[in-house]
């Protein structure tokens, strides 16, 4: 599709992305909460991507890709994308920031807060299908018919992966002796980028990616030794629900991610409350998955561990349920 770049990622791409993003974004904090550590019984470090503009790490990929498109095609660029919410929100923010027009396809199940914010930022919102995969197909069909729209893929693009990899660069600058990084895994752009950065610069760091039990496509793909499709994926972690993985990213995940784990819905809800009450951090379900992995297995605390808090766009109803139930 016009705009998408599927060439191999290189370390130089990450440094180029870092330079591009420096004009628009500052490095996110890497913090440790004493109260949270006491509750967990061990120390963790939180990489607070939920504090980004648009409240998720996705803004890195969106801005970097949009800037790359401007460099290639000039200032008069229009973009189209499909998203489960956060990427669409990031593209809407980036297009407003960079004075571009944007159209975002989302499944009807996308949390209302994400849909409202996409519209508020000026993007054209199209609701279609029950899953991300359905909205992706619809967006691709329109992109292929158009001579002007550039497709900004949420994960499978060298500029997107490189931008997410800048998180890995920041972690190694902020915590030189980090021993383990735990990352949410959905489409695979975040895990691929961070793992690629860290393994190329500090190979001994253990990389764990986490998926919901009900949407474990990369777990099953790793077991099968090839990409597989799962039926009826489901989770409160709407940002990471996928029927199939990404052909472009699967080799990066297989090469650089040491372990892929799953976490339960109950653990994610407990993690949302734990982060809010003890860490004073608001996380959506996908952003809480690394903490959920810690709650399920305290042995992970044996290493100096960074948790990627990927986003904070949580519906009020789910947040209230988590706070009041657990």
**Predicted confidence (pLDDT) per residue in 109-128, tens digit:** 888 888 999 999 999 999 99
Query: Is 103 buried (19+), middle (13-18) or exposed (0-12) by CB count in 10 A?
Result: buried
Query: DSSP per residue over 148-215, as a string?
Result: SEEE--SSSSHHHHHHHHHHHHHHHHH-TT--EEEEE-SSSHHHHHHHHHHHHH-TTSEEEEEEETT-
- Residues of the chain with pLDDT > 70, as a percent, come to 100
What is the Cα–Cα distance from 264 to 230, expressed in whole angstroms?
A: 17
Same fold? 11-56+157-325, 58-151: yes
The domain limits of the chain are: 11-56+157-325, 58-151
Predicted local confidence at residue 306, as pLDDT: 98
What is the Cα–Cα distance from 207 to 202, expressed in whole angstroms?
A: 11
Q: Is the dihedral of CA 8, 12, 18, 23 positive or negative?
A: negative
**Predicted confidence (pLDDT) per residue in 131-189, tens digit:** 888 898 999 999 888 878 999 999 999 999 999 999 999 999 999 999 999 999 999 99
Domain 11-56+157-325: assigned CATH number = 3.40.50.1100
pTM above 0.85, yes or no: yes
> Nearest CA to 158 among 90, 227, 226, 248?
248
Would you state the CATH architecture of domain 58-151? Answer: 3-Layer(aba) Sandwich (3.40)
The segments of the chain whose pLDDT lies below 50 read none
Mean pLDDT for the chain overall: 95
What is the Cα–Cα distance from 85 to 13, expressed in whole angstroms?
A: 26
**Predicted confidence (pLDDT) per residue in 184-194, tens digit:** 999 999 999 99
Q: What angle do CA 232, 237, 238 make, to 5 degrees?
A: 65
CB–CB of 243/133 below 8 Å? yes
């Amino acid at each position: 599709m016009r705009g998408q770049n599927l060439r191999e990622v290189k370390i130089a791409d990450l440094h180029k992305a870092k330079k591009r993003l420096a004009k628009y974004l500052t490095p996110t904090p890497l913090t440790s909460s004493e109260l949270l550590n006491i509750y967990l019984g061990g120390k963790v470090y939180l990489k607070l991507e939920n504090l980004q503009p648009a409240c998720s790490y996705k803004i890195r990929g969106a801005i970097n890709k949009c800037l790359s498109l401007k460099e290639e095609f000039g200032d008069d660029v229009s973009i189209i994308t499909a998203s489960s919410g956060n990427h669409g929100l990031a593209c809407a923010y980036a297009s407003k920031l960079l004075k571009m027009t944007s159209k975002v396809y989302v499944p009807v199940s996308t949390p209302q807060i994400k849909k409202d914010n996409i519209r508020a930022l000026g993007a054209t919102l199209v609701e279609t299908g029950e899953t991300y995969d359905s909205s992706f197909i619809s967006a691709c069909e329109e992109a292929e018919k158009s001579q002007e729209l550039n497709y900004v893929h949420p994960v499978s693009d060298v500029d997107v992966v490189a931008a997410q990899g800048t998180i890995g660069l920041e972690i190694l600058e902020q915590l030189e002796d980090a021993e383990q990084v735990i990352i949410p895994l959905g489409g695979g752009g975040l895990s691929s980028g961070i793992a690629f950065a860290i393994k190329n610069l500090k190979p001994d760091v253990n990389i764990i990616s986490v998926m919901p039990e009900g949407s474990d496509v990369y777990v099953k793909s790793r077991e099968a030794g090839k990409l597989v499709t799962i039926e009826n994926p489901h989770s409160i972690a709407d940002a990471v629900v996928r029927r199939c993985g990404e052909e472009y990213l699967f080799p990066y995940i297989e090469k650089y991610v040491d372990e892929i784990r799953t976490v339960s819905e109950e653990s994610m809800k407990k993690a949302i409350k734990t982060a809010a009450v003890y860490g004073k951090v608001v996380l959506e379900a996908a952003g809480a998955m690394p903490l959920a992995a810690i709650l399920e297995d305290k042995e992970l605390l044996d290493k100096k561990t960074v948790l990627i808090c990927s986003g904070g766009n949580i519906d009020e109803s789910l947040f209230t349920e988590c706070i009041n139930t657990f």
